A and B are shown apart, each in its own frame.
Chain A
């Protein structure tokens, strides 16, 4: 026993075991089960049989699924780009010496702290066809005559849900990037200004390259969160109007749980994995290039 405890390999294995068990039990098993279900015709209350690619073939031809794929990509791309731009901007602002610095920094995090379901309900009222505060204010100001149909028109609904997602996601990006900004040594900026670099040059040649690893991680997370968003849509529109805001996650739930088609729902969820993997690989290979971070160029 003592011999075993002194064995580094065994100890390493023993210490890893709890984490490995947790991962296997709560990550690998559900993922594997979900993937397997996607290849069966399992229904709620009835085990399925293997049907191969049938679910995927059907989904490929299903107009609602295609629309939800488009919605998901549109939602993710637009929301992520704007979240990145706003987040970076906010981070740089917060990195300056502003009055009440720590208070402002804490306040910025608020949208992220509020449970999504709650903030979604607030947005639901903001976007309400009859009670929208935005419409009300604009009508009172005399700028518009009729209430804006935020969630009733397909494109308006897509943009409205994206706006709500951005509101919620920006703080996360901003605070993470702020942490990254603070790791950049001030001496680099001093050296740059001695060399006569203008602020914009400092940003492009000092800040951005050194921030890239953080950006890669933050944006990967942000894309993953956005791509798999569920609560916001579920509260605001349930995927309506006319399925214009159905994301793959909400459609998967609708088909699998409310609709009982477990296999088909699982297939929709599984179909999200390649996109998520692509996002991760892109950030891994695209943004983590050491050479670029150290001021070199790609070979």
Chain B
């Protein structure tokens, strides 16, 4: 044991010396536009606890833990990584923020950092360093990572997002008379109708599915120009644009496989892999599951899977929502510098690229540089997920993220509205009015 300690110590001191040396060199070279540096000094004897969402694809967890181990070997900082179901991380993070105790780093979802910004360690230095080194952050990264989305003070580092795309069966699409996947919402409706007529329908989650339901319902609402709030956070959901989206949803719903009103997050994956649906909206996890399965039947499905970006609606630009993962360091942590160093380490090319590769791009990068990661081109089926963070619209669009946007989504206001209108239990107008009333409650605060 002491041997290892000594070896580690030697390695560390060597590393520090080298770091100091390059630091000097870089300081001189800075004027010449050399790579940026960041000199965080992890606290002595630091130990970190990290809470993250439980992987959807095995490769993600394997590499994340391997990278963490590498970090421990390099720095001597012990890191314990706990994983929880992704929907359980948000309440745990909220409790940690509330009582001021818990894991040093929490990797949560969506706009969590904006719910308790004053409980989070300022990570501007790491963000600026990474941004400068890796081609800059996407707009959506800045929206999620900085206080009020203003791009100045960073309260969280986006780890990336679980991109969503339309997952379809290529042979079924061709059998339905389409040679290429439609690029707009009208085309999608026609394809869905044709698939239904061929007896190979598609389906999208309309139950209280936190991920899949919210993702595609927000895309649909935004594609037609509907939105929950304007830029000043006034509720404007009850609009002609929303009604148009709801009318479209109603037509689209006619083409769904029965039972989608009860679908939670896993249902569409199961139904797709069983060959019961031919089109749905999902992350790359369906493809991953099929591709890595030993079952020849699933392997054949993997061959047949195609991915397409969410079609563009009347607003004329991409309007997808993706599941962003903010990495937050909490102020109660005794080792904020060690925590920041850990995040920096994990986001560096040496770690981030192999990790993305192991997850076959389940997590799309928040930094522009990683667009060049070969994982996006090695298999053309990966490519649609590459631009998830580049083109997405953030939560609470077009307003500010915060408590109100999180609460509105947690209460399934948009999903319920679309499900009500689609299933015909309410007219589009009634559904929009109800959503407006419910949203006003949260946005009034």
Contact = CB atoms under 8 A, between A and B. Distances in A.
A150 B94 contact: no
Interface of A: 41, 43-46, 58, 62-64, 127-131, 146-147, 149-154, 157, 237-243, 254-255, 257-262
Contacts of B209: 238
Given A129-B262, A243-B416, 8 more contacts: A43-B403, A44-B95, A62-B438, A151-B207, A152-B259, A238-B264, A258-B210, A261-B442
Residue from the set B95, B410, B419, B434 with the largest chain A CB neighbour count within 10 Å: B410
| Interface bin, chain B | 35 or more
Contacts of A260: 94, 115, 403, 406-407, 410
Interface string B293-314: 0000000000000000000000
Given A152-B259, A254-B411, A128 B267 contact: yes
Given A44-B116, A237-B208, A242 B276 contact: no
Contacts of B98: 44-45, 262
Contact of B261 (A45, A62, A240, A259): A240
B419 A241 contact: yes
A44 to B, nearest CB: 4
B260 interface: yes
Contacts of A46: 116, 403
A255 B438 CA distance: 12
A130 B94 contact: no
A129 B407 contact: no
Contacts of B90: 257-258
A131 B267 CA distance: 10
Interface in B408-445: 410-412, 416, 419-420, 423, 425, 434, 437-438, 441-442, 445
A259 B410 contact: yes
A163 to B, nearest CB: 15
A282 to B, nearest CB: 33
B258 A242 contact: no
Interface of B: 87, 90-91, 94-95, 97-98, 115-116, 119, 206-210, 257-264, 267, 270-271, 274, 276, 403, 406-407, 410-412, 416, 419-420, 423, 425, 434, 437-438, 441-442, 445
A146 B276 CA distance: 13
B119 A45 contact: yes
Given A41-B445, A62-B441, A257 B423 contact: no
Residue from the set B206, B208, B406, B419 with the largest chain A CB neighbour count within 10 Å: B208
Contact of A129 (B119, B259, B434): B259
Given A45-B97, A45-B116, A129 B419 contact: no
A242 B420 contact: yes
B207 A238 contact: yes
Given A45-B97, A259-B411, A130 B267 contact: yes
Main secondary structure of the interface of B (DSSP, over half): helix
A241 B258 contact: no
A130 to B, nearest CB: 5
A260 B403 CA distance: 7
5 contacts: A129-B258, A131-B270, A241-B261, A242-B416, A257-B94
A154 to B, nearest CB: 8
Main secondary structure of the interface of A (DSSP, over half): loop
Contacts of A157: 262
Contact of B407 (A152, A239, A259): A259
B270 A130 contact: yes
A63 B416 contact: no
Residue from the set A129, A151, A238, A243 with the largest chain B CB neighbour count within 10 Å: A129
A243 B419 CA distance: 11
A130 B262 contact: no
Contacts of B257: 129-130
B94 A58 contact: no
Contacts of A259: 406-407, 410-411
Contacts of B95: 44
B438 A147 contact: no
Contacts of A131: 270, 274
Contacts of A129: 257-260, 262-263, 267, 271
A237 B416 CA distance: 13
A257 B412 CA distance: 14
Contacts of B419: 240-242
A257 B91 contact: yes
Nearest to A41: B445
A240 B411 CA distance: 11
A149 B259 contact: yes
Contacts of B115: 43-45, 260
A44 B97 contact: yes
B399 to A, nearest CB: 16
A104 B197 CA distance: 52
A151 B210 CA distance: 17
B262 A151 contact: yes
A168 to B, nearest CB: 20
B261 A258 contact: no
A260 B94 CA distance: 8
Contacts of A147: 258-259
A135 to B, nearest CB: 10
A129 B267 CA distance: 9
Contacts of B97: 44-45
Nearest to B420: A242
Contact of B438 (A64, A150, A152): A64
A150 B254 CA distance: 19
Residue from the set A151, A153, A154, A241 with the largest chain B CB neighbour count within 10 Å: A241
Contacts of B116: 44-46
